[in-house]
Amino acid sequence: MAKIRVGVIGAGSWAMASHLPNLAKHGDVEFVGVARKGKDLLEKIKREYGFKMASQDYRDVLNEGVDVCIVGSPSGLHHEHSKAALEAGAHVMCEKPVTITSVDAWDLVETANRERKHLVISFGWNYFHMVTEAKRLMDEIGIGNLEHMTVHMSSQTRELLSNTGSYPDASPDALPEPGTWTNPGLSGGGYGQAQLTHALGLSLWLTGARVDSGFALMSAPMNAPVELHDAISYRFDGGAIGVLSGGSAHLGAHKGIHAVEVRAIGDKGQILVDLERAAVWHFSEGKETKLELNDDAGVYHCAGPIDAILSAGRGEAFTNESPGELGARTVEALEVAYKSAASGKLERR
């Protein structure tokens, strides 16, 4: 069996906790090159996963020639790293948010199309059975024209975003560097960039919505360097309205499960997707569908995007449940929110 030559740019805490172990589950993966800062940890990763080379310069990885590249560097570097990988001939799985600015996000979409390569964004929930079934219901039956949508998320990031601790799933061998999350030049902001990008990746995928304009309030208690909480009102293309809220919960809250809920109402029906309570309910023109789900059906993991990008590397047919254009739409929504929070005004895309 031909091996899939894999490179990793930015082997940080989440890559070590999730991406690398998920790659290692596939017997046809060849670990070619890895790049990150810090020689000691870099060498440890090289030994543990059998990478042929390791460097603090990402270009050295691409020069080795890879079929697939995992980009897990800080968000402010995603555009540079992902574009270079695409142009070097690799399919790319990029961490969320795909970029900080929408101009950069759409540039990556155009680059992937031009290079005829797949761009997958690490929205893990989009690959869960409960979400793919919800998407099927929306694609096959729908809710008509979207009129209103509410999205709420709460997750254990209070300590991480206030520089007082970490998050529960962090790799003990590589605790996240504070600047990756709380230096706006690298992260683009706080809770919105760190977590609401997931909620947007889910809700905009289910509905196909695109943000037109928005007004946002953000707060940074505990003298946090970035916002811990977000409250955003949106208008979408086509005239629908909606709200997005996000809050940094305390460590131990939600019993390790993220609270994420999407409710969308159209002119012919409505849908609920609740990851915390493992619920999917769809209603259209008098017909109700409720999925039977296990209680842990919404517990987060990020195997799906890795499986998808490896399928791309094999040349297999697969469904990209988190394509680059979706990533770009989430960046647009976040960009509008941060502009509004700074200006105190309604801002347009």
Low-confidence winner among 78-87, 234-243, 246-255 (lowest mean pLDDT): 246-255
Q: What is the pTM of this model?
A: 0.96
Query: 323 to each of 123, 125, 197, 308, 327, how far by Cα in Å?
Result: 9, 13, 14, 10, 7
DSSP strand pairing (259-266 vs 146-155): antiparallel
Q: What are phi and psi of 339, to 5 degrees?
A: -65, -40
User: Which amino acid type is present at position 290?
Assistant: K
Residue 167: what pLDDT?
74
Low-confidence winner among 175-189, 236-250, 290-304, 320-334 (lowest mean pLDDT): 175-189
Residue 251: what pLDDT?
84
pLDDT digits (tens, 9 = 90+) for 151-199: 999 999 999 999 988 777 766 677 777 788 999 999 999 999 999 999 9
- The whole-angstrom separation of Cα 299 and Cα 275 is 7
DSSP per residue, 232-282: EEEEETTS-EEEEEEEEPPTTGGGG--EEEEEEEESSEEEEEETTTTEEEE
- The whole-angstrom separation of Cα 173 and Cα 183 is 22
The pair of three-digit structure tokens given for residue 120, joined into one six-digit string: 């997958």
Question: Residues 50-56: contacts with CB within 8 Å, 24+ apart?
Answer: 51/8
8-state DSSP, 175: P
Are residues 259 and 225 in contact, defined by beta-carbon separation less than 8 angstroms?
Answer: no
Residue 184: what pLDDT?
93
pLDDT digits (tens, 9 = 90+) for 198-212: 999 999 999 999 999
Other CB atoms within 10 Å distance of the CB of residue 297? 17
Give ranges for CATH 3.30.360.10 in the chain: 125-299+323-348
Q: For all residues of the chain together, what is the average pLDDT?
A: 95
The domain made up of 4-123 has a fold known as Rossmann fold (3.40.50)
Low-confidence winner among 78-92, 167-181, 210-224 (lowest mean pLDDT): 167-181
Q: Which residues of 10-47 are buried (b: 16+ CB within 10 A; e: fewer)?
A: bbbbbbbbbbbebbeeeeebebbbbbbeeeebbebbbe
pLDDT digits (tens, 9 = 90+) for 113-161: 999 999 999 999 999 999 999 999 999 999 999 999 999 999 999 999 9
For residue 1, pLDDT beyond 80: no
Are residues 302 and 124 in contact, defined by beta-carbon separation less than 8 angstroms?
Answer: yes
Nearest to 307, CA basis, from 294, 297, 320: 320
- The whole-angstrom separation of Cα 278 and Cα 291 is 9
Give ranges for CATH 3.40.50.720 in the chain: 4-123
Residue 333: what pLDDT?
98
Residue 254: what pLDDT?
73
Residue 255: what pLDDT?
67
- The whole-angstrom separation of Cα 95 and Cα 47 is 24
- Omega within 30 of 0 (cis) for the link into 97: yes
The CATH class, in words, for 125-299+323-348 is alpha beta
Count Cα neighbours of 306 within 13 Å in the Cβ-side half-sphere: 19
The three-class DSSP label of residue 294 is coil
Other CB atoms within 10 Å distance of the CB of residue 93? 31
Residue 123: what pLDDT?
98
